[in-house]
Structure 1
């Protein structure tokens, strides 16, 4: 074999060997891009769902919300428990916004651990507020809104009537403060309140408990000397 022939064979052999090592990418699969695992998907979906479910009442949406909320509302009684005992209020069907508001707040647990913060002997006990941060935080999560008065349904402030006070802040139309309520203790009633405040129910059981709360000692601003907590406000379904 001549040197030229030997050189040619060598070149061909090298080319053949090189061709056997070509295109390694064809033999190795391209690494897949990372897809979200089930855990990742749940995390993302839950976060987005949570944002969608976060609902806050405002002056703009409160009336529409309670209009729809009361349509299928069958419950009309709420049991309120304190260290003095329990009493039950029944809410009027023809005062729908105030009824729906009270039921909604009770179901949200708003009233739990609030207080009867104002007691005027032989007149009223007023509840739904507190001097701790938790109450303010709960209000912030539920929303800031007022309710229009509904005083033309024929209900009066008889003894045992539950009614809603008006907001004290720039309120020429006597809009109701939705987080608070008062119960009339006066016998037979406090009729000078008619037309200014909205009666939306009455005590049907446990009026002796209301009377006991009304007789506690009070300090400045009619605030009880010892806090009277609403331990539980539960809707009777």
Structure 2
């Protein structure tokens, strides 16, 4: 009888021990879940803290970029390609174009777009691609807005100047298509149809050797490089 009692007592201790371990395991899981939930809450808070901007239209483009420019005064951008880096300085006296360019860089619009037009001894143009992601980005940011011209008297296209592209439709006020820009290589004799008609809003301060190399790649009849030249962009200062 005594042996039977010891045996039963041992069973009780065994299951009690198992129950304690089970409870300990449950407590650990609950603590881990709480930590994970707290992390998720923090991540969610961070996401909500990101500013949300309206779609840009021709009606709100000036007040939006004016305000954005005040809060984002940077003037230097780095364009990265497989050929090397191009550093661009943006002019403060073309504030809408400067703000627009900084905005697009910070919204990562230019990433995975191309230098899609190359003309040796003339220009290289960037900001477009044949990827669906580019059109999707434009639709989200504002697919139809144009920038008012900011043409500075006496400022002409020179080696390394950066200008906004235009849509080749009736555009007597020389408004700029916001998503594409071109870097001028020369010669000055080919600027008569550019000066006074395209807004010059920056210049290349480093990397013109890269610009030269890109301008010489093989392209099709439409000046589109046979091998895509992807770019990415970031704000420097």
TM value normalised by structure 1: 0.75
5+ unaligned residues in a row in structure 1: which ranges?
1-41
State the superposition RMSD in angstroms: 2.3
Unaligned runs of 5+ in 2: 1-40
CA distance in 2, matches of 1:191, 1:160: 13
Q: How far, CA to CA, are the matches of 1:194 and 1:209 in structure 2?
A: 24
For these two proteins, the number of residue pairs brought into alignment is 192
Partner of 1:93: 92
Task: Work out whether 1:137 is the aligned partner of 2:136.
Answer: yes
Say if 1:213 and 1:154 are closer, same or farther in 2 by CA, change over 3 A: same
Q: Deviations over 1:105-142 (max 9, x none)?
A: 00100000000111111100000000010000000110
Query: How many angstroms apart in 2 are the aligned matches of 1:67 and 1:190?
Result: 33
Is structure 2 residue 202 aligned with structure 1 residue 201?
A: yes
Aligned match of 2:215: 214
**Structure 1 CA distance for aligned equivalents of residues 53 and 160 of structure 2:** 36
Q: Distance in 2 between matches of 1:54 and 1:100?
A: 14
2:224 aligned partner: 223
Structure with the bigger percentage of helix? 2
Distance of 1:154 and 1:99 partners within structure 2: 19
Which residue of structure 2 lines up, in the alignment, with residue 165 of structure 1? 165
State the 1:175 CA deviation. Answer: 1.3
How far did residue 190 of structure 1 move? 4.3
Counterpart contact for 1:77–1:88, Cα < 8 Å? yes
CA separation in 2, counterparts of 1:188 and 1:173? 23
By how many angstroms is 1:220 displaced?
2.1
Q: CA deviation at 1:166?
A: 1.2
